[in-house]
Structure 1
Amino acid sequence: MKFSVLSIIGRPGAGKGTQIGLLQRGTGAYEIIRTGNLLRRKAQGRDLIGRKVRYVLENGLLIPTPIVFSLWMPQLVRVKNNEKKYRGVIFDGNPRKLYEAQMLDEVFDMFGWSKRFRVCYIHISEKESRKRLQARDRFDDASKEIEERLRWFRTDVEKALAYYKKRGVLVEVNGEQSQQAVQKEIQRKLKNFL
C-alpha cells in the first residue's frame, strides 16, 4: 500500500469535503484532517481557546496558525506512529496561509513524508463560490463572512497555492463540473500518487 499525504484546497464551497468523501470510499484507510470540523467543535468549548475560535469563526476571520497546528499535530503524530495502518492523510481545505504551508513542509520533512505530498486545487470562480455558500446553512456562511473568506482566499490561500505550484506539487482540477466528473479528474491526475 502506497502512503500519501494530500491537501484538497479550493474556494469556500468548492466541494472539498464531498471529493474527500469520494476519495475515501474509493481508496480507503485515510486519516482525514477536517480543520473546519475541528474548529467548530473547539468553538463549542468554554475555555480561552474555544472562545477565541468561536469569535474568529463568527466574524469570518482566519484562525491563528498556532491554534490550527495544535489541532493537527495530535492526528499527524498518531498516523506517523501507526503509519502501516493508514493509506495516508488528507487535509480538508488546508493549509490556508503560506506560513502554514512552510510549517507543514517542516513537519513532513521530519516525518519523511515530503516526497509523498501533493496539493489538489479544486478551482471554482468567486461567483460560483458565493452561489454555493448562500445555499448552505452554517453559521460561518453569512454574506459578510463569505466576502471576507473570499478576500482571504485571494490574499492568503493563493500565496500558498503559488508556493506549491513552484515546488511542483500542485494539481489543479475544474470544480465547476459534476461531482463525479471532478472525482474522475482528481483520480486521473493523481493516479500514480494515490
Structure 2
Amino acid sequence: MQNKKVIILLGPPGSGKGTQVRLLQEKFSFDCIGSGKMLRARAKTKDFTGKKIAQYVDKGLRVPTPIIFNMWMNRMAEIEKDTKNKGFIIDGSPREVFEAEMLGMALEWYVWDKTKKVVYLKLSEKEIKQRLLNRRMCQKCGRLIPYLVGFKDLKKCDKCGGSLIKRADDTEEGVKERLAWFKREVLPVVSYYKKKGKVIEINGNQSIKKVFNDILKELK
C-alpha cells in the first residue's frame, strides 16, 4: 500500500479553487479527482447509469452520493496501482457532510486518511459577489478569466485568444443562489473538518500567486 498525499480543496464560488488546483498539479505532478468532470464523462456513456446521470446533470440535480462514492473508489483503485503517483487533489467535493463522511471512508480504505490535508480558501461575501459578477469566460475554450489584477483588463483569452463573454449564470440572482447553496451545504462541511482539527484556512482575498504561496507554506 503506497503512501499518497491527499489535498481536499474547499472554498466558495469565485474563490479560485480551479486555478489553485491547476497550480498544485503543476507543482507536485498530482492527479485530480474532480467529481464534476467524472460525472460529465460518465454521463456520455450509453448504459443505464450513464443515462441516469445525464438526466440529473441536465436538470441541475445533485447525483446521489453513493453513485459518486462508487466513482471515487474506482478512481482511487487506479491511483493506488500507479506506483509513480505521489498524490491527488479532491476538487468539487465533498459538498455535504454525508459526502465528507463517505469520502473519509474511501480514504481510510486505502490508508490515506492520515495524509489528508483540507485547505479552505476563505473569501468575504462582498469579494465573492464582485468576482462572480465581473469575471468572464472564453467563448472558445471555456477558460474562466478571474476579476483580478493581471486578468481583468484582458481583451482576449490569454490561452487561446478567444473572445471573452460573461457567463449566463453570473447574474445577481444566480450569484445569490450559489451563495445560499454554499452556506447551506458546503460551510457545514468546513465546520465538520474544523471539529476534527484538519482545516488549513487561507486568505483568498489575495493575488493568485500569494494564495498559492500561502498554501505551499502550510503543506510543508
What is the TM-score with the length of structure 2 in the denominator?
Answer: 0.75
Aligned twin of 1:123: 122
Query: For residues 43-88 of structure 1, what are the alpha-carbon distances to aligned partners after superposition, in whole Å with 9 as ceiling and x for unaligned?
Result: 66672220211211xxxx5443234324333211211222x22111
Aligned twin of 1:10: 11
Distance 2:77 2:131 in 1: 34
Preserved CA contact (<8 Å) 2:11 2:17 = yes
Instruction: State the one-letter code of the partner of 1:34.
Output: G
Preserved CA contact (<8 Å) 1:43 1:52 = no
Distance 2:68 2:130 in 1: 27
Equivalent position to 1:148, from 177, 193, 206:
177
Bigger shift: residues 144-153 or 16-25: 144-153
Aligned twin of 1:48: 52
Instruction: State the one-letter code of the partner of 2:101.
Output: Q
Distance 1:22 1:152 in 2: 27
Preserved CA contact (<8 Å) 2:40 2:54 = no
How far is the alpha carbon of 1:9 from its aligned partner?
A: 0.5
Aligned twin of 1:165: 194
How far is the alpha carbon of 1:142 from its aligned partner?
A: 5.0
How far is the alpha carbon of 1:136 from its aligned partner?
A: 3.5
Residue 5 of structure 1: SS of its match in structure 2?
A: strand
**Structure 1: which 5+ runs fail to align?**
none
Distance 1:133 1:37 in 2: 21
Instruction: State the one-letter code of the partner of 1:124.
Output: L
Instruction: State the one-letter code of the partner of 2:117.
Output: R
Distance 1:76 1:141, change over 3 A: farther
**Structure 2: which 5+ runs fail to align?**
138-166
Distance 1:141 1:77, change over 3 A: farther
Higher gyration radius (CA): 2
Residue 177 of structure 1: SS of its match in structure 2?
A: coil
Number of matched pairs? 185
Preserved CA contact (<8 Å) 1:44 1:54 = no
Distance 1:186 1:45 in 2: 37
Q: Which has the higher contact order (CA 8 A, sep 6+)?
A: 1
Identity among equivalent positions (%) equals 39
How far is the alpha carbon of 1:130 from its aligned partner?
A: 2.3
Q: Which has the higher helix share?
A: 1
Query: For residues 132-172 of structure 1, what are the alpha-carbon distances to aligned partners after superposition, in whole Å with 9 as ceiling and x for unaligned?
Result: 22323456545444322211211221111111111121100
Preserved CA contact (<8 Å) 2:95 2:186 = yes
Aligned twin of 1:78: 78
Bigger shift: residues 143-152 or 118-127: 143-152
Residue 74 of structure 1: SS of its match in structure 2?
A: helix
Aligned twin of 2:103: 104
Distance 1:76 1:119, change over 3 A: same
Preserved CA contact (<8 Å) 1:161 1:170 = yes
Instruction: State the one-letter code of the partner of 1:128.
Output: E
Distance 2:3 2:121 in 1: 23
Instruction: State the one-letter code of the partner of 1:77.
Output: A
Distance 1:139 1:68, change over 3 A: farther
Instruction: State the one-letter code of the partner of 2:33.
Output: I
